[in-house]
Amino acid sequence: MSWSVAWSPAYVISLLYLAVFGSVIAFGLYFTIARARGYAVASYISALTPPIAMLVSVMFEGARFGVLALVGLALVLAGQLFLIRAPKRSAA
């Protein structure tokens, strides 16, 4: 089996879309949020991307996830909830 790329218009357009929006623009937005609201808030993006991807897969691809994936999803969401509710410490 050899690796190959299907240079169809759909492939090239999707690759360009991911490169521009998924990397360049997303990276710029991340640092804009980090400067404006702090890196702790911006880090939520990293933790919440997989659950959002799972939701999109369920909605548009009909994906079904097993128990371990659902447990992982619950742990990620619980962790985010703990971070949001954690007492804020003032910088001294």
pLDDT single digits (tens) 56-74: 999 999 999 999 998 998 9
Rounded to two decimals, the pTM is 0.57
DSSP helix/strand/coil, 57: helix
Please answer whether residues 80 and 48 qualify as being in contact, where contact means their C-beta atoms are separated by less than 8 angstroms.
yes
Q: Which of 51, 48, 49, 46 is nearest to 70 (CA)?
A: 51
Tell me the backbone φ, ψ of residue 62, rounded to 5 degrees: 70, 25
- The residue that leads in pLDDT, 92 or 17, is 17
CA distance 54 to 26: 19
Confidence of residue 91 (pLDDT cuts 50, 70, 90): low
Cα of first residue to Cα of last residue in the chain, in angstroms, is 60
**Does position 79 have pLDDT exceeding 90, yes or no?**
no
Q: What is the DSSP letter of 12?
A: H
Confidence at residue 13, expressed as pLDDT on a 0 to 100 scale: 93
pLDDT single digits (tens) 10-65: 999 999 998 998 888 888 888 888 899 888 777 777 788 888 888 899 999 999 99
